[in-house]
Amino acid sequence: MTESAQTASRQEQKGRTRQAILAAALELAQTQGFAQISLRQVARHAGIVPTAFYRHFDSMDELGLALVEQSFSTLRRMIREAQRDPKVFDNIIDAAADVLVEAVKQSKAHFAFVARERVGGSEAVRRAIQHELDLFVSELAVVLARLPNIETWSSDDVQMVSRLFVRNMVSNAEEVVEMPDHRPDLEERIKDGARRQMRLIVIGFRDWKS
Amino acid sequence: MTESAQTASRQEQKGRTRQAILAAALELAQTQGFAQISLRQVARHAGIVPTAFYRHFDSMDELGLALVEQSFSTLRRMIREAQRDPKVFDNIIDAAADVLVEAVKQSKAHFAFVARERVGGSEAVRRAIQHELDLFVSELAVVLARLPNIETWSSDDVQMVSRLFVRNMVSNAEEVVEMPDHRPDLEERIKDGARRQMRLIVIGFRDWKS
DNA sequence: ACTTTGAGTGTACGCACGTTCACTCAAGTT
DNA sequence: AACTTGAGTGAACGTGCGTACACTCAAAGT
């Protein structure tokens, strides 16, 4: 990449190339899975020479970790925005199902990456994703604990419900990822399934405690 | 492998080598994931020369499919045996949790393979696993439908509960797989979690239908 | 006793890979 | 205007890969 845009402060350009690498890796990972793509493929797709890759990441593993970070920061932003919506208090379940499907649709590639590499990736990437998911369970527990009905539960119980929610989120995200594009019927089905499952968890939990 | 055992009818020997290849692939897949191991690695580990591999499988993909088949036939055998145990009728939930943990512990490698390649594998392997899991949902639905309490439910409802059970089974299998060896405390925790989750599903479902 | 069959061997090939190294040349600094 | 910095280049290396091909040599078939 001798040139790339006329707007080019040095660090701007570096950031742009970095993003190009991330985007290239994410796209390639879609079809073959991140674990099986090569440094040279990524470089080629990003329009740089293999050795230039090292100016941005020490190894493919570090690229993977950067993608994990990017994926979860996207997710966190969406959750934070959704929390501002007052309907969350009325009906957390429907809101969560909507957010889930919307979020996954909007950044399918990131979710696909996380879903795949969570179990299929390298040791380092797998650990990073598991750590982020654990964090996410705790964060969601905090949100849930503030909800009517739930605010009286013990924090252990809230934690477990949160874990079940996240587990279900992962499962449903996998389904949305595998879903062919432009099939609103399937999408509605998955949303509906997610809603039912979450309701199930809440109801089952409530009744079983009594 | 010029020789391997003195008992050697030709097809016996071929079968033995085939098993050696399958075992080698399964073991290697444990650490790195099946998708990233090479034909040559498998051959080396199985004690044959790379070209001999082709006498048994046309490609690594076909080897993967064979492993899928092997994994699920192991699982099916265990389920079939467990069904003969009368306690299944009294308490399908505890029985299922026991079977799950026992089965996964006993053939950890196969479960690890399935859990990983279900999302991380090649297109062909992924599809094969998904297909087997779909089959399994239907088979389990048949078993469930015969159970007291459940026998009055609609078949759609039974199918959905079955799907949730299987989804949970996959999640818990993943956990057992990641579990370090010789930690009966963790094992009991996972079993307990699985039991609670299944109870949750059943209770939630029953109460919500009413 | 002979021929046929086919699992396993050994060599050799072209290819993509990760990484090294010395380089260019524009942006940023003095 | 001269100097420094560092993102991107391009050639070269050693390695492991999948696969082709000609082979050996016992078991199985006649």
Q: Decide which of A128 and A169 is more confident.
A: A128
pLDDT, residue B130, reads 95
Q: What is the pLDDT of residues B19-66, one digit of tens each?
A: 999 999 999 999 999 999 999 999 999 999 999 999 999 999 999 999
In the CATH scheme, what is the code of domain B1-57? 1.10.10.60
Q: Decide which of A15 and A199 is more confident.
A: A15
The CATH architecture assigned to A59-209 reads Orthogonal Bundle (1.10)
Q: What is the pLDDT of residues A62-99, one digit of tens each?
A: 999 999 999 999 889 988 888 888 888 888 888 888 88
- Residue A118, min C-alpha distance to chain B (Å): 9
Total number of residues shown for chain A: 210
Least confident range from B17-26, B46-55, B159-168, B195-204: namely B195-204
Name all protein residues with C-beta less than 7 A from any atom of nucleic acid chain D.
Answer: A 1-2, 4, 10, 13-14, 17, 48-52, 55-56; B 8-11, 38-41, 50-51, 59-60
List of residues 6+ apart from A7 with CB closer than 8 A? none
> Which positions in chain B have a beta carbon within 8 angstroms of at least one beta carbon in chain A?
33, 35-36, 115-121, 160, 164, 167, 171, 174, 196-197, 199-205, 207-208
DSSP per-residue letters across A86-125: THHHH-HHHHHHHHHHHHHHHTHHHHHHHHHHHHHS-HHH
- Say yes or no to pLDDT of B182 above 80: yes
pLDDT, residue A92, reads 82
- Say yes or no to pLDDT of B4 above 70: no
Give the integer Cα–Cα distance in Å for A183 and A165: 25
Going from N- to C-terminal start, the domains of chain B cover: 1-57, 59-209
**CA nearest to B123, candidates A178, A172, A20:** A178
- Say yes or no to pLDDT of B18 above 70: yes
At residue B5 the predicted structure's pLDDT band, cuts being 50, 70 and 90, is: very low
Averaged over A166-182, what is the pLDDT? 86
Contacts of B201 in chain A (CB under 8 A): 200, 204
Helix axis angle, A60-84 relative to A123-145, nearest 10°?
10
Averaged over B87-104, what is the pLDDT? 85
Average pLDDT of every residue of chain B? 89
Q: Decide which of A3 and A70 is more confident.
A: A70
- Residue A203, min C-alpha distance to chain B (Å): 5
At residue B2 the predicted structure's pLDDT band, cuts being 50, 70 and 90, is: very low
Of B33, B196, B208, the CB nearest to A120: B33
